[in-house]
Amino acid sequence: MSQDNYKVKANLGGGPIFLGAGVIGAGLCAYSFMQNRKDFFASYLTAFAFFLAIALGSFFFVFVQHLARSAWSVTIRRVSETAAANLPWMFLLFIPIILGAKDLLPWMSADMRANDHLVHLKEGYLNPTFLWIRVAAIFGIWTVLSLYFLRTSRKQDENKDPALTTQMGKVAAGAAILFTLSQTVFALDWIMSLDPHWFSTMFGVYYFAGSVVAQYCFLILVSGVLRAKTGRKDLIRTDHFHDAGKLLFGHNVFWTYIGFSQFFLIWYANIPEETAFFQDRAAGSWKVISLMLPWCHFAIPFLYLMSWHVKRNIVALSVGCVWLLTMCYIDIFWLIQPNFHIAGAHFGLSDIGALLAVGGFFMFLFIRRLNSANLIPAGDPRLADCLTYDNGVITNEQH
């Protein structure tokens, strides 16, 4: 196949629609802020943490493919590279959270740090100066690494230099360490510390597990649209969806394992500072969501995605992805919102506005960047293997 056959433009539409949704959402956010600033910040943090999870999960997928020297994912990897490259823009969307830090994080109060014994013990970590240092370091790491992988991959499209693949594999090893630390710190700082008395050593892994599930849902849905839009079934194959579906299935089981392990250890230890987290989520309508998540985030998807036929049927698999992506948002909603609405779940105008604002701008930036360059990493030396990938086996004669 000639190199011209690998020159494929995404030509995804909907950019102006998502931009308009973002603008409308920003207007609703402004209105919600004037009505109840704490409700607004809680809703905005929830939406931000959800779309950040997609970007972080995409970043994880990219560097893992390089670490594993993976061939199967080459033709769909550009989707995740582009979504991960939204991380620098996420800092701009994070600015409202910075401005509302005192409304979100009770430990930002000097009185609480001085007079609350448990918070005082954590003051070496929970203090504003160190928080802003961590924020700068985290977004700096995400910006440099996410742009490096996208730009290097695009550069390889032009010069066809196989050494760049080796180079990205080496960088991926360090990226894995930095990603693990930075993602965990973000989860602890902006979700777990909403209740500064509560702590869990598994919380960072829990947020990570959910972000990977969200990423695979996003990757499958976008790849399905791209396959239909471009008509290139030879490049984005049924086998790609099959294996992405298997990885989605496995990582959702992993999310369940981490969630149950966290709950079981806290229940077994029965320490008041730890059990308060689940006690708050057993009150009012939060109890319904707490009981719903094991069924709707695990049991139903487990049975649905287990089928070989579902994973090889793009429409059926997409239905499962939409379902699971919704559950990922509800899961993050369940993590954050009880800190502000202890009596029961509250989904209102501020939540809709925040989802439209963050999601609209996220998708607009994603589509614009994906459309700006070649969809297929044409210079990747493993592309030939990817094109002969058949039901988990590379059929290229050289391999």
| Average pLDDT of adjacent 10-residue blocks, the chain of 399 residues | 73 95 98 96 98 98 97 96 98 98 97 95 96 98 98 95 96 98 98 96 97 98 96 92 97 98 94 91 95 98 97 97 98 97 94 98 98 94 87 51
Q: CA–CA separation, 84 vs 215, rounded Å?
A: 10
* Residue 108 counted as domain residue: yes
Q: What is the pLDDT of residue 272?
A: 87
| 390: β partners | 393
CB 44 within 8 A of CB 89: no
- Token pair for residue 160? 């066809």
Our count of domains for the chain comes to 1
* Residue 1 counted as domain residue: no
- CB crowding 227-266: b at 16 or more within 10 Å, else e: beebebeebbbbbbbbbbbebbbebbbbbbebbeebbeeb
* Residue 399 counted as domain residue: no
DSSP 376: S
CB 196 within 8 A of CB 126: yes
* Residue 125 counted as domain residue: yes
Q: CA–CA separation, 9 vs 7, rounded Å?
A: 7
Contacts of 365 by beta carbon, 8 Å cutoff, 6+ apart: 86, 89
Q: CA–CA separation, 211 vs 248, rounded Å?
A: 11
Q: CA–CA separation, 291 vs 298, rounded Å?
A: 11
Q: What is the pLDDT of residue 101?
A: 98
Q: Which stretch of DSSP H or E encloses residue 313?
A: none
DSSP of 224-288? HHHHHHH--TTTS-HHHHHHHHHHHHHHHHHHHHHHHHHHHHHHHH--HHHHHHHHHTTSTTHHH
CB 39 within 8 A of CB 347: no
List the one residue out of 133, 311, 345, 342 whose CA is nearest residue 220. 311
Q: What is the pLDDT of residue 6?
A: 81
DSSP 41: H
* Residue 367 counted as domain residue: yes
- Token pair for residue 268? 């077994």
CB 325 within 8 A of CB 54: no
Conformation bin of residue 113: beta by default, left when phi > 0, alpha when psi is -120 to 50: alpha
List the one residue out of 70, 61, 394 whose CA is nearest residue 218. 61
Q: Give me the amino acid identity at 85.
A: A
- Token pair for residue 19? 């931009």
* Residue 281 counted as domain residue: yes
Q: Give me the residue label for tokens 């099959």.
A: 242
Contacts of 226 by beta carbon, 8 Å cutoff, 6+ apart: 10, 12, 79, 236, 375
| Own/partner pairs, 304-310, CB within 8 angstroms, 24+ separation | 305/245, 305/248, 305/249, 305/252, 306/249, 308/242, 310/245
Q: What is the pLDDT of residue 127?
A: 97
* Residue 3 counted as domain residue: no
Determine the structural domain holding residue 59 and report its residue range: 9-394
* Residue 2 counted as domain residue: no
Q: What is the pLDDT of residue 393?
A: 56
